[in-house]
Chains A and B, each alone.
Chain A
Amino acid sequence: MQETSKTNSETQSSGAIRSPLIALARWRDEFAEMLSARVRMSRLGFRQTWYLGPMTLGTFTIQLATGVLLMLYYHPSIPQGYADMKDLQFVVSSGNLLRNLHRWSAHAMVFLVFCHMAKVFYRGAYRPPRELNWCVGVVLLLLTLLLSYTGYLLPWDQLSYWGTTVGASIMSSLPVIGTSLRFHLLGGLSVNANVLLRFYVLHTMILPLLVILLISIHLWRLHQDGGMYAHGEKPEPAPDASGHALSNGVSEAVVEEPTLSYGELLFREIIAIETLAAVLITMGLLWNAPLAQLADPLHTPNPAKAPWYFSGLQEMLHYFPPIFAGVLVPGLVLTALVVIPYFNVNIQGEGIFLNLKTRSRHVRICAAVVVVVTAFLLFFDVYVALPATLVVATLLFAAAGAAPDAPAGFRHWLASKPLSFWIMTWFLMELVSLTAVGTLFRGPGWAWVWPWRGY
């Protein structure tokens, strides 16, 4: 039991611990404070946050529960791991559901994490004092992807083996550190039984513990930063060291009276999680998690695809050399994500077309950028990236065409969006289209196929 550095403790004594009971009480207080005891009703509406955060946590909980149950039946060895998949499917009671649920819940978690990130971004809930929480969230995003990647290998079928191999190859394309990074991830030069064991330990112990720790910090920071973000909440100047009070960051005309959260917030979160669980279980009942032949290092399937959340990267690799697609773009994206809350232009969030003085300059810059990007894409034959670019360009020009003093409407709303909005929107749309193309529209030899035709 150690002295906490927080000064928000309600108990007066901040020195030595008087007795174990008091210490226990202080622990309970700390824990309880992580989950806000009180919350504002206005922030509980479904459309405020779509409950994406709790749903992500819900999928993670489902993963923990199903994962532990799966661990009862799974041996991380070759070929026993694959045989265990068969046993789950054919012998274990509800084993099929268990495995399917774990798989669909994993996909849902990755999807929801991206949605949650987008929602937080679009609401502007990254603005100070929430920068640290945003960064913790970025790390959680990476950990989620890593959890999914390590788990993908465990069935040891052709999809697993080759997906992992392709993913590791993309990683090794980093200059200087790439091969070394891959060596340390795999613990060797190629995917084999040792990698299976390593990924199993990562997937079932190390990464979940890290994620649990970071989720705790994430929730605690959320509580510190003022709870669920209200729409229109203005950012605070740099917070002082004296900590928080519940009324931090509120600039509403009327101070709303907070209410007990256990009934309202908790119930609503549980409803969201239960509904999500019901949907995922239904998916698990209807659709089987894919399982191909036992992994065969001698026979590469054609095409060999990375897991779906990396297939956007794989699609990019089709056009650009690995230095670009495997390094620069992901690196830039990550960096950009992390620094979003530290740039003033994001914090202020001023619409790029609203200020008359800068408007025409901004319009010219936007036009130039659109032309350059489109030319770049056409030059490299990256036609799949064009639809998203053209949509964003159209919206941009719709926004640019709106007169600043025009009545409120869609164009005016668009015009009020800051630069970060446009960049993030373009990035998200490209992410979705590249991932969709890489997952659904690519066949043998990475040639274009129509998904309903099959190959």
Chain B
Amino acid sequence: MSLRNPFGGVSRRFAAASVLLAVVAAIAPARDLFRDWRQYQRQYLRLVHGRPDAAQLERRFSGGIQQIWIPDLQVVDRCTTCHVALKEANLADVSEQPFRKHPAMPHSLTEFGCVICHRGQGPATSSQEAHHATEAWEEPLLPAKYMEASCGQCHLTALRGTPVLNQGRQLLERKGCAHCHTIKLADGTAVQPTDNPPPLNHIAEKTTREWIFAFVRNPQAYAATASMPNFAFSDDNARDISAFLIAQSTPSGYGPKIAAMKAKPFTPDATSLPEGTSLYGQSFCASCHAAQNAGGNLVGGDLGPEITRIGSKVRPEWLQEWIRDPNGYDADTTMPHYRFNDKQVGLLTNYLLSKTDSDLLANVKLEAATQQQIDHGRALVVENGCAACHKIEGVKKPENFAPDLSREGSKPFAQLTFPKGVKPSLPDYISSKIHDPRSFGPNLKMPKYTLAPAELDALSTALLSLTDRANSLPSRLRIASTHDSRYEPAGKAGRLISDLRCLSCHRINGRGGDMAADLSWEGSSVQRPWLVDFLKNPNTLRPALIRRMPKFNLSDAEINTLTDYMQTVYQSPAIDADSIPAGSLTPQLVEQGRQLFYSKYQCQSCHIIDPKQDKGYIGPVLSQVGLRLTPAWVFHWFKDPQSLRPGSQEPNQNMTDEDARALTAYMMSLKTRAKTEAK
């Protein structure tokens, strides 16, 4: 250690350590200059530079980190740091990301930011962190096919722009998910099932143990569109369940009649089949029930069960009574009460019982059930939650049988499992779970539903819309769900309407089905003689449809009751029946209207009056509209169709009162029945 260099080797080591520290410490600030987003912004400027509108685009560009900050929604979205051109209309031709313009959307960027719709990590400024699931962020970008789920966070009603979501929500109701799962929307209302599973407490009257066995083993072997899911029961379990169900069955309201009919057994009669077939056709059973025709195509509606093989299912005596009066067996059924006479009942029964499938029960041989099997069957019924959907004697409907799905769209990753082959993301989890529930582990109880791929996507979309965010958004942003009213028609007519189950197809005062027209203002709409005629013999405005109003064989008294009620009660307050007196519709006005119909408004492009020259197949044939509709209704229709039938395709032409009046006159003059109906 010399005086000249008192520190010798130490200072060299000190210098080395200091240099090392300085170099290492400089790395991080230097890396800042090479961040992802800076590259993208430079790339954007290079892209823009060569274009003709470069000056304008460059002026509108702001460098640095950009963000959309909406404090009361907890939105901090920095997507616009890289996606710089989202709002640039001029760049509609650019197709490379991240410089693409955002496609047209119903909300502006600054209204909700990006992440509320697309998910992903808003505060991130690197593409890996922003788009994908990382250790600190579980929600990657939502795949495009599920995008409508994000709309569903605020919009709890059906929207025209979200068909997939609407279908998914409908499926949640119609597949009966809500029987087992609690599904609460963000406004607190619960999803209600609309699938009407039949009661099983009188099942022994309706069908045989062999059929129950075969059905429980595989529902879709009986009817391809059976809404009952497949529980994958073994033969032994199905045997025991069928034993229990027969054992628990009690006599229904049919009781004595069934016993009486058992005395005379049913014999099929091939000769009356054609008559039965045409009666079946006239009764328009196909409006609700589907059946496979000879070509293997399913024809008919889905309000009631598929009847392709009904002859192999039901007992003849039960079917006779059912057709005669469904309410005696099941007071809550949606099947209307036709007024068939004995002959008609016989014809229909014979026809339906001809629809058999000999393969269905060919190999089903069941011996008499022992008490042990019945008890085991009951245990199985309890364990699998059958009573969640079906009324079963002695078994209560279980509470909270399946997990609550009200926040399924935000389910944490820690609660998800992924069997082999399933991508580890929430949408894939939901989709795969619905598709094949039991592949997720042993001892799972959810049965397998038969769903088309589009239906699967729709259901996943609907479930993905049930997020934490949907529940925590300010309530001013939420558009609450609409529900059916609890309208019950009153009095004698009301009882008829209930008995005929009009609300299965028609909507009245906010309640009912959507297969047929809304009757809330039918009294203002149609003329009484026409209505009487129609109820006696429902023809149709659109003969191309397979699902049409059935003929209920109502008596005159019943028809009068109904017509009086509808004409009096189902009136629109906006329409004054006397506002267009018949005398005011002069022949000159009629001619004027005819001119307007054909020349000014070109109505023949959609409507037919004279089948020889008009070819408009979109709207109904108008050749007898003067017998059907009331003038006041027609006038209001011309002035604003959507106020009378929301969603109608009839264009609102903003007609003047004069034009509307003239056209009304012309319409009311059309009273001839068309010689040929459009196909």
CB distance from A455 to the nearest CB of B (A): 11
> A263, B7: Cβ atoms under 8 Å?
yes
B489 within 8 A of partner (CB): no
Contacting residues, chain B, for A299 (C-beta < 8 A): 412, 414-415
Q: How many whole Å from A91's CB to the nearest CB in chain B? A: 6
Annotate B16-27 by CB proximity to A: 1 below 8 A, 0 otherwise.
011011001101
Residues of A within 8 A of B334 (CB): none
A285 in contact with B27 (CB, 8 Å): yes
Stretch at the interface among A15-23, A119-127, A272-280, A357-365: A272-280
Chain B hits for A87, CB < 8 A:
123
Q: Are A278 and B20 in contact (CB under 8 A)?
A: yes
Please give the distance in Å from A199's CB to the nearest CB on chain B: 21
Number of A-B contacts (CB under 8 A): 87
Query: What residues on B are CB-neighbors of A285 within 8 Å?
Result: 24, 27-28, 31
**How far is it, in angstroms, between the C-alpha of A275 and the C-alpha of B31 when the chains are bound?**
22
A157 contacts chain B at the CB level, 8 A cutoff:
yes
Check A291–B136 contact: CB distance below 8 A.
yes
Comparing A92-100, A232-240, A243-251, A423-431, the segment that makes contact with chain B is: A92-100
In the bound assembly, the distance between CA atoms of A28 and B2 in angstroms comes to 30
Q: Are B14 and A93 in contact (CB under 8 A)?
A: no
User: Does B129 belong to the interface (CB within 8 Å)?
Assistant: yes
Q: Which of B119-140 contact A (CB under 8 A)?
A: 121, 123-126, 129, 135-138
- Is B10 a contact of A281 with CB atoms below 8 Å? no
Known A-B contacts A94-B28, A97-B28, A263-B7; the reply to A270 vs B135 at CB < 8 A is: no
In whole Å, how far is B275's beta carbon from the nearest beta carbon of chain A?
A: 66
CB-based contact A90/B10 at 8 Å: no
Task: Say yes or no: A263-B123 contact (C-beta < 8 A), given A157-B136, A290-B135, A302-B414.
Answer: no
In the complex the two chains form, is A275's CB within 8 Å of B17's CB? yes
**Contact (A90, B7) CB under 8 Å given A275-B17, A282-B24, A291-B136:** no
**Contact partners of A293 in chain B: CB under 8 A:** 136-138, 412
Q: Which of B13, B74, B126, B412 has a CB less than 8 Å from the CB of A90?
A: B126
Give the complex CA separation of A90 and B27 in angstroms: 17
Report whether B123 and A86 are in contact in the complex, using a CB–CB cutoff of 8 Å.
yes
Bound state CA distance, A302 and B129, in angstroms?
24
Is there an interface contact between B20 and A267, defined as CB atoms closer than 8 Å? no
Q: Using Cβ atoms and an 8 Å threshold, which residues of chain B touch A267?
A: 7, 10-11, 13-14
Whether a CB of chain A sits under 8 angstroms from the CB of B529 is: no
**Chain B CB within 8 A of A292 CB:** yes
Q: Is the CB of B29 closer than 8 A to any CB of chain A? A: yes
Which residues of B lie under 8 Å from residue A175 when comparing CB positions?
Answer: none
Give the distance in Å from the alpha carbon of A267 to the alpha carbon of B137 in the complex. Answer: 45
Is B118 interfacial (CB 8 A cutoff)? Answer: no
A219 to B14, CA, bound (A): 23
B residues 299-340 touching A (CB-CB < 8 Å): none
What is the CA–CA distance of A271 and B7 in the complex, to the nearest angstrom?
13
B359 at the interface (CB under 8 A from A): no
A291 to chain B: closest residue by CB: B136
Q: Which chain A residue has the least Cβ–Cβ distance from B130?
A: A90
A296 to B413, CA, bound (A): 13
Chain A residues with Cβ under 8 A from B125's Cβ?
Answer: 90-91
Interface: A29 (CB within 8 A): no
Judged by a CB distance under 8 angstroms, whether B76 is at the interface is: yes
Q: Which of A269-315 contact B (CB under 8 A)?
A: 270-271, 274-275, 277-278, 281-282, 284-285, 290-293, 296, 299, 301-302
A157, A264, A290: the one contacting B10 at CB < 8 Å is A264
Question: Which residues on the A side are within 8 Å of B24 (C-beta)?
Answer: 278, 281-282, 285
Residues of A within 8 A of B21 (CB): 274-275, 277-278, 281
- Tell me if A281 and B13 are in contact (CB < 8 A): no
**A301 near B11: Cβ-Cβ < 8 Å:** no
A278 & B123 in contact (Cβ 8 Å cutoff): no
User: Does A45 have its Cβ within 8 Å of any Cβ on chain B?
Assistant: no
A140 to chain B, nearest CB (A): 26
Q: Counting chain B CB atoms within 10 Å of each CB, which of A89, A91, A285 scores highest?
A: A91
Chain B residues with Cβ below 8 Å from A89 are 124, 129
Among the listed B6, B29, B121, B412, which residue makes an inter-chain contact with A94, where contact means beta carbons less than 8 Å apart? Answer: B29
Residues of chain A with a CB closer than 8 A to B65's CB: 91
- A268 CB–B CB distance under 8 Å: yes
Given contacts A274-B20, A274-B21, A301-B414, contact A93 B123 (CB under 8 A): no
Is A321 on the interface with B (CB-CB < 8 A)?
no
Chain B, Cβ-Cβ closest to A155: B136
Say yes or no for A79: interface residue by CB 8 A criterion: yes
Q: How far is the CA of A83 from the CA of B24 in the complex (A)?
A: 28
Name A296's closest neighbour in chain B (CB-CB).
B412
Smallest CB-CB separation from B64: which chain A residue?
Answer: A91
A-facing mask of B68-103, CB < 8 A → 1, else 0?
A: 000000101010000000000000000000000000
Across-interface contacts of B126 in A (CB, < 8 A): 90
| Chain A residues with CB under 8 A of B138 | 293
**Please, which residues of chain A bring their CB within 8 A of the CB of B31?**
94, 285
B129-153: CB near A (< 8 Å → 1, else 0) gives 1000001111000000000000000
Q: For residue A83, which residues in chain B have a CB less than 8 angstroms away from its CB?
A: 76, 123
Question: Is B111 located at the chain interface by the 8 A CB criterion?
Answer: no
A365 CB to closest chain B CB, in angstroms? 48
Cα distance A271–B78 in the bound complex, in angstroms: 42
Assess the B17–A96 pair: CB atoms within 8 A: no
| Residues of A with C-beta under 8 A to B14 | 267, 270-271, 274
A268 in contact with B29 (CB, 8 Å): no
Chain A residues with CB under 8 Å of B415's CB are: 299
B-side contacts of A90, CB under 8 Å = 78, 123-126, 129
Residues of the A chain whose Cβ atoms lie less than 8 Å from the Cβ of B20: 274-275, 278
Q: Which of B10, B29, B124, B137 touches A271 (beta carbons < 8 Å)? A: B10
Q: Are B137 and A263 neighbours in the complex by a CB distance under 8 Å?
A: no
B17 CB contact (under 8 Å) in A93, A271, A291: A271
Residues A278 and B135 in contact, CB atoms below 8 Å apart: no
> Is B32 located at the chain interface by the 8 A CB criterion?
yes
Q: How far is the CB of A268 from chain B (nearest CB, A)?
A: 6
Bound: A86/B77 CA distance, A: 12
**Residue of A87, A277, A281, A296 ringed by the most chain B CB atoms within 10 A:** A281
Q: Which residues of B contact A292 (CB under 8 A)?
A: 135-136
Chain B: which residue is nearest A272 at the CB level?
B17
Q: Determine which residue in A86, A90, A271, A293 has the highest number of CB atoms from chain B within 10 A of its CB, and name it.
A: A90
Q: Identify B25's interface contact among A263, A264, A281, CB under 8 A.
A: A281
Q: Nearest Cβ distance between residue B253 and chain A, in whole angstroms?
A: 50
Taking a contact as CB atoms closer than 8 A, the residue among A93, A264, A270, A282 that contacts B29 in the complex is: A93
Tell me the minimal C-beta distance from A63 to chain B in angstroms: 16
When distances are taken between beta carbons in the complex, the residues of chain A under 8 Å from B13 are: 267, 271
- The complex places the Cα of A90 from the Cα of B77 at a distance, in Å, of 12
- Residues of chain A with a CB closer than 8 A to B414's CB: 299, 301-302
Which residues from chain B contact A271 at a C-beta distance below 8 Å? 10, 13-14, 17
Task: Tell me the complex Cα distance, A281–B135, Å.
Answer: 22
Residues 86-121 of A, flagged 1 when their CB comes within 8 A of B and 0 if not, give 110111011011000000000000000000000000
A238 to B78, CA, bound (A): 67
Q: Is the CB of A274 within 8 A of B124?
A: no
Contact bitstring B146-189, A, C-beta under 8 A = 1, else 0: 00000000000000000000000000000000000000000000
A97 to B, closest residue via Cβ: B28
* Chain B residues positioned under 8 Å from A284 (CB to CB): 28
Write out the residue numbers on chain B whose beta carbons fall within 8 Å of the beta carbon of A302. 414
Residues 5 to 57 of chain B near chain A (Cβ within 8 Å): 6-7, 10-11, 13-14, 17-18, 20-21, 24-25, 27-29, 31-32
Q: Kindly list the 3 A-B residue pairs having the minimum CB-CB distance in the complex, ordered from nearest.
A: A97-B28, A274-B17, A86-B123
**Chain A residues close to B by CB (< 8 Å):** 79, 83, 86-87, 89-91, 93-94, 96-97, 157, 263-264, 267-268, 270-271, 274-275, 277-278, 281-282, 284-285, 290-293, 296, 299, 301-302
6 A-B contacts, Cβ less than 8 Å apart? A83-B123, A90-B125, A157-B136, A263-B7, A271-B13, A302-B414
Q: A93-B32, A263-B10, A274-B21 are in contact. List 17 more A-B contacts (CB 8 A).
A: A83-B76, A86-B121, A86-B124, A89-B129, A90-B129, A91-B123, A94-B31, A264-B10, A267-B10, A271-B10, A278-B17, A281-B21, A284-B28, A285-B28, A291-B135, A299-B412, A299-B414
